[in-house]
Chains A and B, each alone.
Chain A
Amino acid sequence: MMPYLNFYKNYLQIQMTEFLNGLWFWLRRIPLIGKSISPKFYGMRDLKTVILVVFKWLSLPLTVLRKSFLVFIAWLVAFGVKNLSLQKESVLWDTFRIDYPEIFHWTLTIFLLFCIFEQLSFVKASSGSLFRGIAFAKMFRLSYGDTLKKLNRINLVMSLLAYIFPLGILGLIYHQSFVAIVLPSSFRLLTLNFALFLVSKNWWVDILDSYQKKIFKYSYNLVVFGGGVFGLFYLTLVHTLEWTALSAWIILILASVSFLLSQKKKLSQRFIQSIFRNLAYHEQIVTEAKSNQSNTGLKAAQKSSQKIEVTDEQELFDKFSGIQLLNRLLFKRYRKIFKKKLFYRLGGLGLAFLIILGVYAYLVIRFGKTNYLTFNQVGNILPSIFFIMYLASISKEVVAIYYTKCDQAMLNYPFYRTEQTILQSFIGRLKQSFILNTPIVVALFINVFLGILLFGKAIPLSFYGLIVFYGVAVNLLFSFHELFLYYILQPFDREGGMKNPIFTVINGIFYYFCIQNYQLANRFDETTTYVLTISIIIVVYVSLGLIIVKLKAPKRFKLK
C-alpha cells in the first residue's frame, strides 16, 4: 500500500510542479508586468506542495460532478428507452415515470459496458494514459510495466471513489444501494484484472498484431462493438435484466480472486514494445495533424519526404553546374509531387471540357441553336480565369518545396546568399514555375477556346491571338507572384511555420484582386481594352518586381 501511496504522491507533485512552473513561465513572458515577476518561485517547493493540496481538495467536487454526469447520461438513456418502449400510439410525456426497476438495471448494464470499452484501449496498447505512463516511466527511470500497473490501479481507485456518490444516489432512489455501489466497482476491478492478465501474455500481442490488419480490425469492431450494442438492446428489451445482490457478491468474489491472481502478473515485454510502436505511430499522426494547420503547399512539401524519386541525373550533371544544377536536381527529384498535383488539376479541367461538349450537344439536339456568346460575353468570362488560376496554380507548392527541401538548409551558407546566386536562382525557379503552370493554363484556355468555338461563332479569329497573350501574362503573374513574395519576405520560420503577417496580408489582397477582377472588367467598354490593360499591368508588375528582387532580395532572403 505504502509504495502505491508514495508513488501517487510523487506523481501528483510532478504534474502540479510542471503545471505551476509552466504557468509561472508564461506569466513572466507577459509584456510590461512579466519583468517584475520573480523567478524565485521555481525554487519554492513547499509552496507548490501547499498549492497542490489546496488544488486537489478544490478539484474533488469537480471530479465527482464529472462522474455523476456520466452516470446521469446512462440513467437518462435507460429512462428514455424504458418509458418510450411503454408508449403505445403516441408519446405522452405526463406518463413518464422514474420508478420502473428496469431503469436501474439498465443503467447499471450501460455502465458495465462502458467499463469494458474503457479497458479495450488499454489491452490494445494504444491509449493516451498508456502513452503518458510510458513517457513518465522513461523520464524518471522507472520500470515500464510496474509504472503502468500502478497508474492503472491508482486511477481505478480514484475513479471508484468519485463514483461512490452518484452510484449511491442511484441506489437510494431505487432502494438498491449495495448493488449500485458494489457491483459496478467490483466489475471495474474485474475487467482491469482481466486486462492485466491478457497483457501479461505474449500470445495477446500476436492477436494485437493481427488486429492491425484491416480485415481483422473490421471484424473485431463488428463483433465487439456491434455485439455489445446488440447485446445491450437484446438483454434490456427482450429479457428484463436484473442485477441482484447475489450477482454483486459473485462479481465481488471474482474481482477479489482475480486481484490476488493478477498481483504477480507482469506486463509482457512484447506488450510494452507494442505501446512504443503505437506511440511512435501516434506521434506521427499528431505531427501530420499539426502540419495540416499550415498552408497547403507546406503540407505537400512536408509529406513529400517519402516521395522523393531517384532519377538518372548524369545528363543534368553534364549540362549544368552551381545553382542551376541544384534547382534542376530539386525539380527532377520532386517531380512526382508536381505530377500528382498537375494530374488532379488537369483532370478537373478535362472534366470541364467534357461538360462543355455535353452542354453543346444537348443544346444542339434540343434547340438546334448554338450561337449564344457575343464578343462582350466572352470578355466577361476572361476575369474568371484569374480566380481559377488562383486556385489551380502550382506555385504555392513549388515555393514550399524550395523552402523545406532546399533553402531551409542552404540559406545557412553565405555563398548561397550572394546577389548573383540569388538572382540566378530566382530566374531559374521562375522559369520552372512557368513551365509547371503552363499545362494548367493551356488546359484552361483550351476550354475557353472550345467554348468560344462552339457557342460564339461570330467572334473574329484575331481575338484568339489576344487571348493567347492574356494567357501568357496570367501564367507569368501566377508563376512570379508567389516566388516574388517568397524572395522578398521569406515568410517561413526555421520549423517551416508561417511567420510573416505581411505575407498573409498581401496574399489576402491578391486573393481579393482575383475575385474583384469581374468588377474591373465591367469598367471597360471593350473586351480588347480590358485584356490589353490587364496584360500590360501584369508585365509592368513583373518587370518592377524583378528590379525589386535584384535590389532587395540579397538582403531580405534569409532564415528567420
Chain B
Amino acid sequence: MQLVLENIDKAFDDKQLFNDVTFKFETGKIYGLLGRNGSGKTTLFNCIARNLSVDSGSIAIIDDEGQKMTNYENTEIGFVTTTTHLPDFMTGLEFVRFVMDLNRERLTTTLSASDNLTRYGIKVSDQNKLLRDYSHGMKNKVQMLVTEVTNAPIYLLDEPLTSFDPVAAYEVKERIRELKSRAIVIFSTHILELAKELCDEIVLLHDQKLEVLGNDKLQSQDFEKEIVTILSEEHDNDALS
C-alpha cells in the first residue's frame, strides 16, 4: 500500500505551508517527519486525515492491487493527536469497550478492553476511573490504544511519546515497530534520538516541501548536526525574506 501526495498546496491566509508537494509513503516503513515549529507538520496530518482540505493537488491511497483511491474514508487513517480528544465523563474501560464494540469488524485484537488497557500499562484499579481524572500520559495511552486496535492501514502519530513514562514509552515503541509490518507509520517528533532509533526514513518538512534525508545520513554520526543545519537554513531564508 502507498500513500501518495501529488502536487499539494496549502496556505493559511498569507502563510504558504506546502508548495507543490509530491511524496510517496509505503507500507513496511516508519517515517519520521521532522520540521521546525509552525512548518505545517500537524496541518499535513490533518490534510491526510481529511479534517482539512488541500488548496490544490491530491492525496490518495494506492492499495496492493494498484487501485488508487482519492476519496478514501477517514477510518483509513489512525490519527493520534498531540492533544487528547476523549470523553471526560466516561471511564477508561467504558471508552475502550465502546470503541471496540462500534468497530467490531475492524479490530486487530482478540483481547478484552480491560486486557488491552493493562497491555498499555493502565492498572485495573485505574480502569474504572473517569477519563477526566487521568493524567496526560494516561490519556495519551488510551488514545494510542484505541487508534491501534481499530486497524487503520495508515497511522499518523503527532509527537506520540512525549508524555509517556519510560516503561510505557518502551512498550509503545514496540507497538509502533509491530505496526509497520501491516501499515504505513508516519510520526512527527522533535526528539532526534528517537527519530534515529525508530525510523526507517526521515522526511523533512522545510521550505514548503517534503524531502527525504538520505539513509547514509540517518546512520551517520553527524545525524543531529545534519538535521539542524538543514532546518536552520530554512529558518535563515525565512528571516531574510
**Which residues of A are at the interface with B, using a C-beta cutoff of 8 A?**
6-7, 10, 13-14, 17-19, 21-22, 25, 39-40, 42-43, 45, 137-146, 266, 268-270, 272-273, 276
- List residues 71-90 of chain B with CB under 8 A from any CB of chain A: 71, 73-75, 78, 85-87, 89-90
Q: Are A276 and B75 in contact (CB under 8 A)?
A: no
- Give 5 nearest A-B pairs by CB, closest first: A43-B128, A21-B89, A22-B89, A141-B150, A18-B89
Q: Are A25 and B73 in contact (CB under 8 A)?
A: no
Q: Are B53 and A42 in contact (CB under 8 A)?
A: no
Task: Name the distance in Å between A67's Cβ and chain B's nearest Cβ.
Answer: 28
Q: Tell me the complex Cα distance, A236–B4, Å.
A: 58
Q: Tell me the complex Cα distance, A549–B74, Å.
A: 57
Q: Which of B85, B89, B97, B101 contacts A139 (CB 8 A)?
A: B85
Q: Are A21 and B130 in contact (CB under 8 A)?
A: yes
**Which residues from chain B contact A45 at a C-beta distance below 8 Å?**
94, 97
Tell me whether A21 and B50 are in contact in the complex, defined as CB-CB below 8 angstroms, given that A141-B99, A141-B147 are known contacts: no
Number of residue pairs across A and B with beta carbons under 8 Å?
Answer: 81
Some 25 contacts from A to B, beta carbons below 8 A apart, are A10-B98, A17-B94, A19-B89, A21-B90, A25-B89, A40-B128, A42-B91, A43-B91, A137-B74, A139-B85, A139-B87, A140-B99, A141-B75, A141-B102, A141-B147, A143-B73, A145-B73, A266-B71, A268-B71, A269-B50, A269-B53, A272-B74, A273-B51, A273-B52, A273-B53
Q: Which of B53, B101, B129 contacts A39 (CB 8 A)?
A: B129
**Which residues from chain A contact B94 at a C-beta distance below 8 Å?**
17, 45
Tell me whether A14 and B91 are in contact in the complex, defined as CB-CB below 8 angstroms, given that A142-B103, A144-B74 are known contacts: no
**Which residues from chain A contact B185 at a C-beta distance below 8 Å?**
none
Q: Are A7 and B102 in contact (CB under 8 A)?
A: yes
Q: Are B75 and A142 in contact (CB under 8 A)?
A: yes
**Which residues of B are at the interface with A, using a C-beta cutoff of 8 A?**
50-53, 71, 73-75, 78, 85-87, 89-91, 93-94, 97-99, 101-104, 127-130, 132, 146-147, 150
Main secondary structure on A side of the interface with B: helix
Q: Are A18 and B150 in contact (CB under 8 A)?
A: no
Q: Are B52 and A43 in contact (CB under 8 A)?
A: no
**Which residues from chain A contact B52 at a C-beta distance below 8 Å?**
273, 276
Q: Which of A10, A13, A144, A270 contacts B53 (CB 8 A)?
A: A270
Q: Are B128 and A42 in contact (CB under 8 A)?
A: yes
Q: Are B102 and A142 in contact (CB under 8 A)?
A: yes
Q: Tell me the complex Cα distance, A45–B88, Å.
A: 17
Q: Tell me the complex Cα distance, A98–B73, Å.
A: 53
**Which residues from chain B contact A25 at a C-beta distance below 8 Å?**
89, 130, 132
Q: Are A141 and B146 in contact (CB under 8 A)?
A: yes
Q: Which of A42, A141, A276 contacts B51 (CB 8 A)?
A: A276
Q: Tell me the complex Cα distance, A14–B75, Å.
A: 20
Closest B residue to A137 using CB positions: B74
Task: Name the distance in Å between B112's Cβ and chain A's nearest Cβ.
Answer: 13
Q: Tell me the complex Cα distance, A146–B106, Å.
A: 14
**Which residues from chain A contact B93 at a C-beta distance below 8 Å?**
43
**Which residues from chain B contact A146 at a C-beta distance below 8 Å?**
73
Closest A residue to B75 using CB positions: A143
Task: Name the distance in Å between A277's Cβ and chain B's nearest Cβ.
Answer: 9
**Which residues from chain B contact A276 at a C-beta distance below 8 Å?**
51-52
**Which residues from chain B contact A39 at a C-beta distance below 8 Å?**
128-129
Q: Are B71 and A269 in contact (CB under 8 A)?
A: yes
Closest A residue to B70 using CB positions: A269
**Which residues from chain A contact B130 at a C-beta distance below 8 Å?**
21, 25, 42
Q: Tell me the complex Cα distance, A146–B103, Å.
A: 12
Tell me whether A42 and B85 are in contact in the complex, defined as CB-CB below 8 angstroms, given that A14-B98, A140-B98 are known contacts: no
Q: Tell me the complex Cα distance, A40–B50, Å.
A: 39
Q: Are B98 and A18 in contact (CB under 8 A)?
A: no
Task: Name the distance in Å between B141's Cβ and chain A's nearest Cβ.
Answer: 16
Q: Are B50 and A273 in contact (CB under 8 A)?
A: yes
Q: Tell me the complex Cα distance, A91–B98, Å.
A: 61
**Which residues from chain B contact A145 at a C-beta distance below 8 Å?**
73
